[in-house]
Structure 1
Amino acid sequence: MSKAITNNQSVDLISDFKEITKMRLAVSVVFSSVAGYFLGAEVIDFVELLLLAVGGYMMVGASNAFNQVIEKDLDVLMDRTKNRPIPSGRMSVKKALFIAFTFTILGLLVLYIINPVTAMFGAISIFLYVSIYTPLKTKTPLSVFVGAFPGAIPFMLGWVAATNDFSIESGTLFMIQFFWQFPHFWALGWWLYNDYKRGGFFMLPTGKRDRGTAIQIILYTIWTIAVSLIPVFGVTGRLYLTPVSGILILILGLGMLYYAYKLYKNRDEISAKKLMFASVSYITLLQIIYVLDKYIRIWI
């Protein structure tokens, strides 16, 4: 009996750890960083790649743990967050802070082993997310703009880790993920509008699920597609995309734009949810196409 209880406690502990660090989100961020590394590296160093994955996970996990400590009283008010470890009482604030500070220190050390520039951008990311973006979420819709900066760093971070340099290539990767976040988070904010409202969060640019917000979502979707296609024209240094891959990216982008238009037309939660998932598919497939395009060119 005691063994069963111990096993259940271990499972609960692992589950809470995954939730306090937002494992699924952290893994998607690590995926972006790894994609950026493959794009930037001339020779793949798998030890360096592993350090990037571990350090990246720790930085994201730390940011999420700090975020949940700061928003613990607001998380209780929302259906999607009330069962998180802290508001549910399964984890103490002290334990969450221990995880957050430990992950911050270890994450920065791991990234510093790769190179100081990577550690610097990792530190900037966690500072912007925790100290500026998180407090602004209950103050102004501009929080999404501020949050787009740390959110855009991972794709770029991989290139910086591989090259020890911030250049036009890494800047382009940053801009792709920067513009992408607006339709993504506004779609999420529209879908979960009532829940966010209960928590006092202002996520939509006009503050409402209205025509103005829908138009801005369409505009930022178009800008995301445009920035994603810049490497096709050979003006971004070593970051190049063949016309065939450019067409694939354009098709993906038009698919995302279609869902953005459907949201503008219907202005309902279902359309917002579909756009949110379409945006996730877009950025994931874009990163895969970018990497495959590079290595297919090398192999050919």
Structure 2
Amino acid sequence: MLRKQIRDAVAGFPFAAYLELTKPRILTLVLVTTALGFFLGGHGVHSLPLLIYTLLGTACVAGGSAVLNHYLERDVDRTMHRTRNRPLPTGIIKPSTAMSYGLCLVLSGVTILLFAANLLTAFLALLSAFLYVVVYTPMKRLTWLNTSFGAIPGALPPMGGWTAATGELDLGAWALFLILFAWQHPHFYAIAWIFREDYQRGGFKMLPVVEPEGRRTCRHIIAFSVLLIGASALPAILGLTGKVYLYGAVLMGLGLLGAGISLTLTRSELDARRLLKASVVYLPLLFLLCAVDTGF
């Protein structure tokens, strides 16, 4: 009887909904960038257990931050077409449960990083959670600058991987930060352009919402794409990678810039989607180049 009750309880548990709250696609990117920072900072994987604990702790913090973001935006999510079927708006998971779930994940992740890695790595993870949940999430309703502020916590994971391996922040870690910071702008501006009506419906002050003509949005896309080309060259300049990575990074950066220029000329949803696809492809290819060039 007890076994049947346990089986029924497990069968009825919404595992998929709890996983969805952690934003697994973004979480995957976070873990890949963390691993890259760990590898480049330590010049290889000198301790597999440390890497595993670093990824586990980072996953908990990033996933918990995403859950808390869902919790804070649950009412707005009901009004937007692209978010109204999420677990909280549909009632699959209660808000109080989501809040407890998110807090437990964040605290567990910070604790893991503190004891398995070091204080600096734990601090960076906690800072990332704070900036994402407490600063970026409410800022989306206040100013179009939210994209740039949100790019800061989004660029911290590779620094966390670096500090877990080395115990310190140096130029290599900042180079990875700058790459992620610059990349997020064309990526998220493309998303904001495609879904600008939905963002307006939700009351989010994304740049394409406050300036519908798109001139400033396109200028920012071009500017940060140019910055990305320069930032992506830094690992080679610092001696972390070689010429294969450098040439590939510059060529891919020019391709992303070209997609941004096309959007600037047409300001069409089609070109915004092309830019989004280009940005999605860009980052994994950049990391692959880095791995191949360094013999990972």
Q: What's the TM-score bracket when you normalise by the shorter of the two chains? A: over 0.9
Q: Which of structure 1's runs of 4+ aligned residues deviate more than 3 A?
A: 2-8
1:105-144 → structure 2 map (5 Å cutoff): 105-112=107-114, 113-144=116-147
> How many residues align structurally?
290
TM-score, scaled relative to structure 2: 0.92
- 1:245 paired residue number: 245
Unaligned runs of 5+ in 1: none
Q: Bigger CA drift: 95-104 or 241-250?
A: 241-250
Checking the alignment, whether the CA contact within 8 Å between 1:190 and 1:209 is kept in structure 2 is no
Alpha-carbon separation, structure 2, partners of 1:291 and 1:9: 42
* One-letter amino acid of the structure 2 residue matched with residue 78 of structure 1: M
Checking the alignment, whether the CA contact within 8 Å between 1:39 and 1:291 is kept in structure 2 is no
Give the CA deviation at 1:7.
6.7
* One-letter amino acid of the structure 2 residue matched with residue 84 of structure 1: R
TM-score, scaled relative to structure 1: 0.91
1:81-100 → structure 2 map (5 Å cutoff): 81-100=83-102
Checking the alignment, whether the CA contact within 8 Å between 2:147 and 2:206 is kept in structure 1 is yes
Alpha-carbon separation, structure 1, partners of 2:129 and 2:73: 16
- 1:61 paired residue number: 63
Alpha-carbon separation, structure 2, partners of 1:209 and 1:158: 40
Q: Percent identity?
A: 34
Summarize deviations over 1:210-253 as a string: whole Å, max 9, x none.
Answer: 122112211110111111112333xx3xx522222211111111
Summarize deviations over 1:146-176 as a string: whole Å, max 9, x none.
Answer: 1111010012221111101111110111111
Q: 1:29 to 1:80 in 2, by over 3 A?
A: same
Q: Bigger CA drift: 202-211 or 261-270?
A: 202-211
**Cα RMSD over matched residues?**
2.0
Give the CA deviation at 1:42.
3.6
Q: Is 2:229 aligned against 1:225? A: yes
- 1:197 paired residue number: 200
Corresponding residue SS for 1:100: helix
Summarize deviations over 1:12-64 as a string: whole Å, max 9, x none.
Answer: x1110111111121111111101111111145211111111111111111111
Alpha-carbon separation, structure 2, partners of 1:114 and 1:7: 34
Unaligned runs of 5+ in 2: none
* One-letter amino acid of the structure 2 residue matched with residue 225 of structure 1: I
Checking the alignment, whether the CA contact within 8 Å between 1:222 and 1:257 is kept in structure 2 is yes
Checking the alignment, whether the CA contact within 8 Å between 2:40 and 2:240 is kept in structure 1 is no
- 2:290 paired residue number: 290
- 1:152 paired residue number: 155
Alpha-carbon separation, structure 2, partners of 1:116 and 1:4: 41
- 1:184 paired residue number: 187
- 1:268 paired residue number: 268
Summarize deviations over 1:157-216 as a string: whole Å, max 9, x none.
Answer: 211111011111101111111111111111111111111111111222763241221122
- 1:277 paired residue number: 277
* One-letter amino acid of the structure 2 residue matched with residue 289 of structure 1: L
Checking the alignment, whether the CA contact within 8 Å between 2:244 and 2:289 is kept in structure 1 is no
Alpha-carbon separation, structure 1, partners of 2:129 and 2:70: 14
Give the CA deviation at 1:4.
9.8
Give the CA deviation at 1:6.
5.8
Checking the alignment, whether the CA contact within 8 Å between 1:159 and 1:170 is kept in structure 2 is yes
Checking the alignment, whether the CA contact within 8 Å between 1:39 and 1:290 is kept in structure 2 is no
Alpha-carbon separation, structure 1, partners of 2:109 and 2:256: 34
1:200-211 → structure 2 map (5 Å cutoff): 200-204=203-207, 207-211=211-215
Corresponding residue SS for 1:85: coil
Q: 1:94 to 1:227 in 2, by over 3 A?
A: same
Alpha-carbon separation, structure 2, partners of 1:175 and 1:42: 20
